Structure 1
Amino acid sequence: MGRLNSLASLDLSGNCLEGPIPSSLGNLRSLTFLHLSQNQLSGFIPEEIGRLNSLTHLALAENQLQGPIPRSFANLSNLQALHLRDNRLSGPIPQGVGGSMNMASLQLSGNQFTGSLPESICHGGSLQNFSITNNSFRGRVPQNLKTCTSLGRVFLNGNQLTGDISQVFGAYPNLVIIDLSHNHFYGKISSNWGQSLKLGNLRMRGNNISGSIPPEIGNCIQLRVLDFSLNHIVGAIPKELGKLTSLEKLWLNGNHLSGAIPVEFESLTNLEFLDISSNILCKSIPRNLGNSFSKLNHLNLSHNNFSQELPISLMSLFHLSKLDLSYNSLTGEIPSESSRMQSLEVLNLSHNHLSGIIPTTFEEMHGLLHVDISYNELHGLIPNNKAFLDAPLEALQGNKGLCGNVKGLPPCKVHKSKKGHMKAEFIIIFPVLGSLLVLFVFFLVLRILQRRKKYRHPQLEQSDKHEGGSLFVSSTFDGRKMYEEIIRTTEAFNDIYCIGEGGYGRTYKAKLSSGDMVAVKKLHQVLNDEKRSQKAFLNEIKTLTEIRHRNIIKLHCFCSHARHSFLVYEYLEMGSLARMLNSEEDAKELDWSKRLNIVKSVAYALSYMHHDCSPPIIHRDIKSNNILLDSQYVAHVSDFGTAKILELDSSNWTSLAGTYGYIAPEFAYTMKITEKCDVYSFGVLVLEVMIGKYPGDFISSVKSSDPSIEISIQLKDVLDQRLPFPTPQVEAELVRVAKIAIECLNDLSESRPTMHLISKVLVAAQTTASS
């Protein structure tokens, strides 16, 4: 080290360094920058680092360091940034550490620190980024944090901090995000928050906050996320929240709010998520909600006291995927206009006073997966909709007059009017003939559909001939124009537009002149692999043009050309699940709620492929790289290059496909493909989502362990440590999902559950936690 005494900057971050940090680094007295983050360093932090008096930036984050912070760090008086997050450090913070006059960024999240926060924090008034998430700090917040107006990003969530929230925090003109969730703060929310005009994200979830919501919050017009849930807040929802026109997510659930939903909410046109459940709100649901919330995909108004009828305008929420209005006092009939909500997957209208028949228009809602209409006053025939027909009896009970071909419900009676007498008698006297007639009509319709498919696919059609090949596109795109635009916008597939590479091709990002963003997968032009790539290309086209599901990647068009063969998909902003889990920062965005939703979305897609497609489709390569996430973190199954359409009259032997570690054990030696191969891969994926990385040895440990040992005991040591440990409610849901995953990993394929059963069980794992 002697020759390096004049070294000013040392950056070894993002490598695979192992072992302890050399104490000899303390001899590099000229160092101002020392970055060793994102390695596998272990052991204690050497006291000698505290000798580096010239240090301005010290980053040891994302390693496996343990023990306390050296007391010598209090001597680092020139520090501007100290990053120790995501290690195994413990003990209290020594006095003086972080108290540098120039300290701008102090990151201690994701460790095991205890004790109180040092009073020296923000001593110099320069602190901008302060994060201590997921530790065990307790006691009061330092007084000087109240006057630290330089703060921009503050994360105190997941600790045991206390104090009167109206006195601990002040007005912060530069604050962009603050998370105080899951602590023990009490008192009323101060009107001072209305002076933090740059605030975009304000979270106070899961504390002991009382009083009312100050109307001054409406001054924070840049707010995109507001979470006051799971507190003891009372009073009416202030109409001033209607001024938050940038708001995307709003949680007010689990409080004691009363009165009506303000009519001013009609201004919240960017709202995507709204949960005001478990309050004592009353009166009617505003009739303007459906006209205003055009982007809404999650609406929960359950466990309140809303009355009167369901407004028809609510049925105009075309993007809504979950609607929960249960446990209210709603009356009247279910509007037939409900079928407008074509994106709806989960509908809960239980425990109300709804009456009349269930509209037959529900039969048009092919995306509906789960319904609960229990404990109303409904009667008549259950709609011929899969969600209703597959619903458990618990989701239908408590209605006196429901009937239909559902287990547990009485069959509907045949009314013998003069006009309908002969029709009823025909079915009763000649049941065999009636069945034959139904079969004849079914096969006739099927034959017509098959003939039509030969000439034109309903989603994709040949739109243009091009020199050297053909362009096939959806009705929303012009073939020649699409081809020319993609070549132009990617500069003939320049590497700078490449966003990923797989076994059969590279994927590029392209922005069309219409403003649409698309992802373009271009086949490899490798002679010795051309036949294989072409097969995957055709296989993906064949599969994706036959299916359509919210959680399956959408194929816009494809081009088969002598120079460039490519497929054009919808562009999903967040990229692959694997990429998110491999990024320390992005993985933290995938909180437990999002991860449970990802698991459910993949289950829904596979259930659709296995049980709603005829013949069934087996993906054969389910893994985190092939799960893509959109801007809302909704999962989409992608990469159908190795997918297999099962032939019902065939043994379905095939060549080995998939990724090592995800392949079902029996497939490796039998080469026979069944739905249970995907089920095994799904089990591996679920554990990967929960652990945050490929589960590896954990798979064999759960297979070989005593079944009597509670899975929750094993999970505690392997859950992704980058997230706060889940609340008891969320932990219970994770345990249930983990048990399903372990059942999927059974070495006997016939003992694994079907994806249809899995998707039904998972719908019960609804978490209200956001982090």
Structure 2
Amino acid sequence: MKSYFNGVVLSSFLGKFTSVRMVSKKGSAISFIEYKLLEKATDSFHESNILGEGGFGCVYKAKLDDNLHVAVKKLDCATQDAGREFENEVDLLSNIHHPNVVCLLGYSAHDDTRFIVYELMENRSLDIQLHGPSHGSALTWHMRMKIALDTARGLEYLHEHCNPAVIHRDLKSSNILLDSKFNAKLSDFGLAITDGSQNKNNLKLSGTLGYVAPEYLLDGKLTDKSDVYAFGVVLLELLLGRRPVEKLAPAQCQSIVTWAMPQLTDRSKLPNIVDPVIKSTMDLKHLYQVAAVAVLCVQPEPSYRPLITDVLHSLIPLVPVELGGTLRVAPSGPPADSTIPSGH
């Protein structure tokens, strides 16, 4: 595997550890990293090194030899579900290599605990950037569009270029990680499934409130359009700076989709609900275009939602060239004019 990670050739990094063959669909060899090494690298999993928390454990920042920083996900696998998610994630990520999917470096085990080692994403998650202490202040309009484009590219790879296709099943802002340059990468593949799995429609309902597509919630029907719905919710988070579900009262919650939908299609109301942080940095025409894409993605009827490829092509003209799109931004003044390809 010749893949670059923070300027280090991964093959030489992985060569330091015991390489063992795990059961994998394509028989990929995955590096096993000694538990003691991870224990030392995380200062015995000290709470000061916690980067985030998930359903089955925490993610820690770790410093390995050669001053290389990585992220270590610690999973309590005493339950069958946690063990299954660990195996699923390692199995899938060992065969997925894409600039917009987080890079798997290795794994470890100790008693009932399992560990997955990834590249470190310095700017943590989109969720933390948008809803944490900074409230999105580091994310300009163009940076948010870049993150949306990167996320779409990662999803397109899963849906269109993996064989069999992969449905992420838990796309959300906390599973979109950002590196030092705010390049976005999809993470957390514990719930992901391959399209065509025999038990696809008999899966235990999983996902996160606010991101789960209505047809999956109501009928258990899961397709790549379920990921497109979740992407639409993330796009709304980027536009509005709001969480996907907000508490109105102790027993009352409101989804961002229900709240925003009537205003997203009203050009006079839309600018008033945009995240105040980006109001002065955006081109109104581009705002209307992105809102139209978001509206299509969160349609209740999956057949009305676009394919992620269509979404990708509609976002490329809105992202500056230096951030991975095709938009040429004038040295001063508002962004140059651009249009969404017809038919979306």
> Aligning the two structures, in what range does the TM-score lie when normalised by the shorter sequence?
0.7 to 0.9
Query: Post-superposition shift, 1:643?
Result: 0.8
Query: Post-superposition shift, 1:769?
Result: 7.9
Q: Which amino acid aligns with 2:274?
A: L
Q: 2:184 aligns with which of 629, 635, 643?
A: 635
Q: Give CA deviations for 1:117-173 in whole Å, capped at 9, x if unaligned.
A: xxxxxxxxxxxxxxxxxxxxxxxxxxxxxxxxxxxxxxxxxxxxxxxxxxxxxxxxx
Q: 1:763 aligns with which of 316, 319, 322?
A: 316
1:163-182 superposed matches below 5 A: none
CA RMSD of aligned residues (A): 2.6
Per the alignment, residue 218 of structure 2 pairs with 669
Change (3 A) 1:563 1:583: closer
- Structure 2 portions without partners, runs of 5+: 6-22, 245-253, 321-328, 335-344
Query: Post-superposition shift, 1:484?
Result: 2.9
Query: Post-superposition shift, 1:514?
Result: 1.3
Q: Is the 8 A contact 1:506 1:524 kept in 2?
A: no
Q: 2:121 aligns with which of 572, 576, 582?
A: 572
For residues 220 and 132 of structure 2, what CA distance do their matches in structure 1 show? 35
Query: Post-superposition shift, 1:714?
Result: 2.8
Per the alignment, residue 743 of structure 1 pairs with 296
Per the alignment, residue 150 of structure 2 pairs with 601
Per the alignment, residue 693 of structure 1 pairs with 242
1:509-588 superposed matches below 5 A: 509-524=61-76, 527=78, 530-562=79-111, 564-583=113-132, 585=134, 587-588=136-137
Counterpart secondary structure, 2:71: strand
For residues 496 and 683 of structure 1, what CA distance do their matches in structure 2 show? 34
Q: Give CA deviations for 1:249-279 in whole Å, capped at 9, x if unaligned.
A: xxxxxxxxxxxxxxxxxxxxxxxxxxxxxxx
1:592 aligns with 2:145: no
Per the alignment, residue 486 of structure 1 pairs with 38
Query: Post-superposition shift, 1:651?
Result: 5.7
Q: Give CA deviations for 1:388-409 in whole Å, capped at 9, x if unaligned.
A: xxxxxxxxxxxxxxxxxxxxxx
Q: Give CA deviations for 1:282-313 in whole Å, capped at 9, x if unaligned.
A: xxxxxxxxxxxxxxxxxxxxxxxxxxxxxxxx
Change (3 A) 1:563 1:748: closer
Q: Give CA deviations for 1:5-45 in whole Å, capped at 9, x if unaligned.
A: xxxxxxxxxxxxxxxxxxxxxxxxxxxxxxxxxxxxxxxxx
- Structure 1 portions without partners, runs of 5+: 1-317, 320-451, 462-471, 474-478
Q: Is the 8 A contact 1:510 1:518 kept in 2?
A: yes
Per the alignment, residue 160 of structure 2 pairs with 611
TM-score (norm 2): 0.78
Q: Which amino acid aligns with 1:700?
A: T
1:366-377 superposed matches below 5 A: none
Query: Post-superposition shift, 1:554?
Result: 0.6
Query: Post-superposition shift, 1:701?
Result: 4.6
1:723 aligns with 2:281: no
Change (3 A) 1:641 1:710: closer
Q: Is the 8 A contact 1:653 1:671 kept in 2?
A: yes
For residues 612 and 564 of structure 1, what CA distance do their matches in structure 2 show? 33
For residues 100 and 73 of structure 2, what CA distance do their matches in structure 1 show? 19
For residues 703 and 722 of structure 1, what CA distance do their matches in structure 2 show? 21
Q: 1:732 aligns with which of 260, 282, 285?
A: 285
Q: Is the 8 A contact 1:683 1:741 kept in 2?
A: yes
Q: Is the 8 A contact 1:490 1:509 kept in 2?
A: yes
Q: Which amino acid aligns with 2:39?
A: I
Change (3 A) 1:769 1:659: farther
Per the alignment, residue 54 of structure 1 pairs with none
Q: Is the 8 A contact 2:52 2:59 kept in 1?
A: yes
For residues 656 and 648 of structure 1, what CA distance do their matches in structure 2 show? 15
Q: 2:231 aligns with which of 672, 677, 682?
A: 682
Query: Post-superposition shift, 1:589?
Result: 1.2
State the identity as a percent: 33
For residues 658 and 668 of structure 1, what CA distance do their matches in structure 2 show? 9
Query: Post-superposition shift, 1:766?
Result: 2.5
1:500 aligns with 2:58: no
Query: Post-superposition shift, 1:734?
Result: 2.3
Q: Is the 8 A contact 1:703 1:746 kept in 2?
A: no
Q: Is the 8 A contact 1:702 1:742 kept in 2?
A: no
Query: Post-superposition shift, 1:712?
Result: 3.2
Aligned residues: 295
Per the alignment, residue 248 of structure 2 pairs with none
Query: Post-superposition shift, 1:543?
Result: 1.4
For residues 51 and 24 of structure 2, what CA distance do their matches in structure 1 show? 34
For residues 275 and 46 of structure 2, what CA distance do their matches in structure 1 show? 37
Counterpart secondary structure, 2:204: coil
Change (3 A) 1:544 1:604: same
Change (3 A) 1:454 1:551: closer
Q: Give CA deviations for 1:337-373 in whole Å, capped at 9, x if unaligned.
A: xxxxxxxxxxxxxxxxxxxxxxxxxxxxxxxxxxxxx
Change (3 A) 1:519 1:621: same
For residues 185 and 67 of structure 2, what CA distance do their matches in structure 1 show? 22
Q: Is the 8 A contact 1:654 1:672 kept in 2?
A: no
RCO higher in 1 or 2 (8 Å CA, sep ≥ 6)?
A: 2
Per the alignment, residue 621 of structure 1 pairs with 170
Q: Which amino acid aligns with 1:761?
A: S
Q: Give CA deviations for 1:652-706 in whole Å, capped at 9, x if unaligned.
A: 331111111111011112112111111111111100011112255552255457x
Counterpart secondary structure, 1:587: coil
Counterpart secondary structure, 2:67: coil
Counterpart secondary structure, 1:508: strand
Q: Which amino acid aligns with 1:587?
A: G
For residues 203 and 70 of structure 2, what CA distance do their matches in structure 1 show? 33
Counterpart secondary structure, 2:59: strand
Query: Post-superposition shift, 1:592?
Result: 0.5
1:361-510 superposed matches below 5 A: 456-457=27-28, 461=29, 472-473=30-31, 479=32, 482-510=34-62
Q: Is the 8 A contact 2:150 2:184 kept in 1?
A: yes
Q: 2:306 aligns with which of 732, 748, 753?
A: 753
For residues 114 and 51 of structure 2, what CA distance do their matches in structure 1 show? 17
